[in-house]
Amino acid sequence: MQERRRAVPEKTAPTRADSTGSADQGARERAPRRLRADAQRNVDSLLEAAKTVFGTSGVDAPAKQIADLAGVGVGTLYRHFPQRSDLVKAVFQREVDACADAAPALSAAHEPGEALERWLLRYTEFLATKRGLATALHSGDPAFDALPGYFMQRLGPTLDSLLETATASGEIRAEISAKDLLYAVANLCLPVEGGGVAYSRRMVALLVDGLRYGAGTSPSRS
């Protein structure tokens, strides 16, 4: 009996539509997925809780303490932040972003000199949060190597814009740079015995008074 040969479909090149569809599917698979609203709320609650706990109990505080304050389970904490360094970085970047993002609203609501002062006081609050993260940030862990650059990338241009506007209005002296001022405020906010955020705010207010002194006679910033 003659063997009946089975027909084998020929391989054909993918059509343009097929190729485009595959490419689109690949792009969708590579693109980061946006969190659902409930998941985003959990992340926000965890970051706020972690900021509070790190400020009072340090960065090595138990995960359950953070999760309980956020009102979620420990499993939810680890699902979003598998390593402690992930949580520390997220808290740091969130606070940097909040500080940078405050500048436009302050500029819109206040005169340039006052907007600058209010932003520097907002920056003072950020530095208080940063002290709670200090143990981790200065641990030498490579996970934190990019954070100083992130800090300057976000806050440097923000403060520079506020300074330029305040200087142009004649309210602030001209010979200080954003980098100088960021570090000057940070030095004023170093912990002292019996001091706290209120003490740091008073010191920063004195610094701003110094920036205003002689502003009308200072040369324009280049």
The tens digit of pLDDT for each residue in 154-199 reads 999 999 999 999 999 999 988 889 999 999 999 998 877 777 888 8
The region of weakest confidence among 10-19, 44-53, 124-133, 165-174 is 10-19
Structure tokens given for 209: 């008074």
157/138 Cα distance (integer angstroms) = 25
Going from the N-terminus, what domains does the chain have, and what CATH number goes with each? Answer: 35-82 (1.10.10.60), 85-216 (1.10.357.10)
The tens digit of pLDDT for each residue in 49-87 reads 999 999 889 999 999 999 999 999 999 999 999 999 999
**Cα-Cα-Cα-Cα dihedral of 60, 65, 69, 71, to 10°?**
120
205/8 Cα distance (integer angstroms) = 83
10 Å CB burial of residue 191 (0-12, 13-18, 19+) is exposed
| Model pLDDT, residue 16 | 43
75/149 Cα distance (integer angstroms) = 31
Nearest-Å Rg of the Cα atoms of the chain is 26
Instruction: Assign 206 to helix, strand or coil.
Output: helix
Q: What is the 3-state secondary structure (H, E, C) of 73-122?
A: CHHHHHHHCCCHHHHHHHHHHHHHHHHHHHHHHHHHHCCHHHHHHHHHHH
